[in-house]
Structure 1
Amino acid sequence: MPSVLFVCTANICRSPMAEVLLKARRAGFGAGAAEAFQQVASAGARAAARGEPIDARAAAALQRANLAVEKKWRSQRVAPEHFERYDLILAMEADNLKVLREQSPPALQSRLHLLLDFAPGLEGQDVPDPYFGPAAGFDHVLTLLERGVAGLAQQWRQGRL
């Protein structure tokens, strides 16, 4: 049963959006998926030491999609124990993946991937960081995350995870 950790830079935009999305969509993956994907979380490669709430624009994009982050949710930094705890550690961009590879024990490197490597036609691409752009960027990111999560579901249904 795969446990999944989504990773972006600060853990206030992309990775928490992906976490919320997978938690909301896992029941639709097919028989047993809700149970299979019980452990889903997010973290930041360079997150602040003190947990912060999700960016308001990210929360608004989720709300427009009828999704919501838990009120008690706070950002966290990637920690050494995450590499053991999660079967899949999915980075939002190549820079995040590089940081993860530097931190991960060599024996666990196979757990590290870009999220969009699971989205047909988007393999090798980054989920862009919407933080410094307009609010519409968060909706675009959510669309990309939907494609990544759908591809993850497809891989799970095909027994590839």
Structure 2
Amino acid sequence: MTAHTNCPLCQSDGGLVLFRNAFLRVIDAQEADYPAFTRVILNRHVQEMSDLNQAERGGLMSAVYLVEALQRRHFQPDKINLAQLGNMVPHVHWHIIARFTDDKHFPNPIWGAPREAANAPDGEHEAARRNAHIRQRVPAYHEDITQSFTALLAETTDPVPEQTRFEQTLHRIING
């Protein structure tokens, strides 16, 4: 990994590592209000997606899509947010965030101010119950990430999983 001394994603894992190969790592972002928040982080320091070649862009996005499919399987969110900002940390990484209509920011981005309690749906208790339920599912989700990524990527130095195997894996995850 080409490290930059002022880049937090070069200096640390950025969260709990669920999978790592030479190209990327998948981490649990460990956000208390969003227990299914996951990041896919390029290992080497690159600032923009257009700095990657086509195969690297494809491999990174395949990883993002795989995490999204696993979140759908394990958590049945109302929506999944994909974000690649880099304003605060200019190192290529993607946020994959399972969203629910009763989470504290919905429908706004999670980085903004929380919505006012008066605008929140009845049932803060319902949201707390859902978050507790999600936390119970997180270990199986983590295990599924590790197994799925290992099966697709661990034995290769190519950043892009073989397309047929990747599509079969996505189909299996989405359709059961």
Which is higher, the Rg of structure 1 or of structure 2? 2
The structure richer in helix per residue is 1
The normalised TM-score by structure 1 is: 0.28
The normalised TM-score by structure 2 is: 0.26
